Each structure stands twice: as structure tokens, then as C-alpha cells.
């Protein structure tokens, strides 16, 4: 387990705020001497710190996947599996698997397949709730495409939600990447869409709780 670098400044700020509130709480206790209130406030501050730390956690996971396996790029819940017409890159029909990430999930994102990054683009946009049907095309988002060794391409999008206001991605076009390597991070509640060839065998269903780098979404054929 490690803390993601995107959280360093936020955690430092949180520690300063918590320390200040803890001192204020101690001062209040010396004035009114209400023991239960003193410990309740300390407990609230501790829980807040734990929530901030767990949001930026990145578990140590050994990636183990077959060559044709498409791994889930994010922790969360599968909220949609449907055929859609992808209009930004492919201009054809694809199977879309959408994973909703709550604020309690790990928010680092990982490459679903190994290959060469063929396309990487950031889009400014709205901040509709992440499960809104139009969030895939109207929210702030990034679109990344990786070409597999067999020539097939997989597109995936980081999509900001109503709370998420910063999307980070670290890959560039032409870069060779490995399956399960981190490609980005989304702060707070959000969504990741994976668009697969229509021939892909899908191994998850709507409502499944999935884990990044662990859950097998399907197999390329």
C-alpha cells in the first residue's frame, strides 16, 4: 500500500487543518471541560484524516493476466454494458462497459491492455453526475486508445463527475505501455468507460463490484 503522489498536497493541507482544529478543541475543553465533547471532536477529526488517506491509497497488486485479457482499469461498480456508436475515434459500433467510482474507491486508473498508445486527448466539459447518460460525451474527460499486439484497439475514458474536478493522465501517443500500469488518477467520485470491439467476450455484468488490475472485463477475439 502506498499514498498516491496526487494526494501529497491535499494530505498536507488536511493535516494542517486537523492540527489547528485539534488545538482549538483542546482550548475549548480547558474552558468548558466537557470530556465527552472533547473526545467526540477528536474522533471526528481522526475519521476525517482516515478518509483523506484512504482516498489516495494505491494497493500493491501483482498483475496476472493472459495476453488477450482486458483487465478492469478502475475500482468501482459496473453501471452499464451496451453497444454504442463511438464517434470520437473509431466512428463505429463498440461495446461500452462503464465503471462508476465512488469517493470510497481507489481512484488510480490502470491500463486495461498492453500495447501502444495510439491516441490521448483531454476534453474540457461539464460536471454532470458520473452515472448520467450524457456524462460520457459532455463531462470533462480524457480519451485514450491502446493498440494491442493483435492489432485490435481498446478505447477508455476517464470522466469527471459532479464532485470530481481534476483528471490526471500520464501517457502520451506513441508510448508503449504494459497491462496494469497506472495511466492516470481522478479526484473524487467519477467514472471510467471502456469501449471494446464488438467481438469481445464480456465476463462481467451490470451491478458487479470490480477491482482495477484484478477483475477480468473480457477477452479480445
- Cite the active site residues: 190
CB 129 within 8 A of CB 163: no
Backbone angles phi, psi at 86, to 5 degrees: -85, 120
Helices 35-55 and 8-32: crossing angle in degrees, nearest 10, is 180
**Rounded Cα distance, 174 and 181, in Å:** 16
Sequence-ordered strand ranges (E) for the chain? 2-3, 57-58, 69-71, 76-86, 92-101, 108-110, 115-123, 141-147, 153-160, 167-169, 176-177, 182-186, 190-196, 201-202, 209-210, 216-219
41-61 b/e (C-beta count within 10 Å ≥ 16 → b)? bbeebeeeeeebeebbebeee
Amino acid at each position: 500500500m502506498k499514498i498516491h503522489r496526487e494526494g501529497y498536497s491535499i494530505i498536507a493541507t488536511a493535516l494542517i487543518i486537523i492540527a489547528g482544529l485539534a488545538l482549538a478543541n483542546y482550548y475549548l475543553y480547558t474552558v468548558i471541560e466537557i470530556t465527552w465533547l472533547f473526545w467526540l471532536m477528536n474522533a471526528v477529526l481522526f475519521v476525517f484524516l482516515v478518509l483523506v488517506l484512504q482516498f489516495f491509497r494505491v494497493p500493491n497488486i501483482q498483475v496476472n493476466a493472459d495476453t488477450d485479457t482486458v483487465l478492469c482499469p478502475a475500482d468501482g461498480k459496473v453501471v452499464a454494458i451496451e453497444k454504442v456508436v463511438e464517434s470520437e475515434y473509431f466512428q463505429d459500433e463498440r461495446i461500452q462497459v462503464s465503471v462508476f467510482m465512488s469517493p470510497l474507491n481507489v481512484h488510480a486508473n490502470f491500463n486495461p491492455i498492453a500495447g501502444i498508445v495510439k491516441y490521448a486527448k483531454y476534453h474540457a466539459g461539464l460536471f454532470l453526475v458520473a452515472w448520467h447518460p450524457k456524462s460520457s460525451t459532455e463531462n470533462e474527460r480524457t480519451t485514450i486508445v491502446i493498440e494491442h499486439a493483435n492489432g485490435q484497439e481498446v478505447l477508455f475514458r476517464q470522466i469527471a463527475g459532479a464532485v470530481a474536478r481534476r483528471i490526471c493522465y500520464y501517457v502520451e501517443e506513441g508510448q508503449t505501455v504494459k497491462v496494469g500500469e497506472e495511466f492516470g488518477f481522478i479526484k473524487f467520485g467519477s467514472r471510467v468507460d471502456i469501449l471494446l470491439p464488438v467481438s469481445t467476450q464480456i465476463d462481467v455484468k451490470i451491478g458487479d463490484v470490480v477491482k482495477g488490475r484484478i477483475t477480468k472485463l473480457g477477452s479480445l477475439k
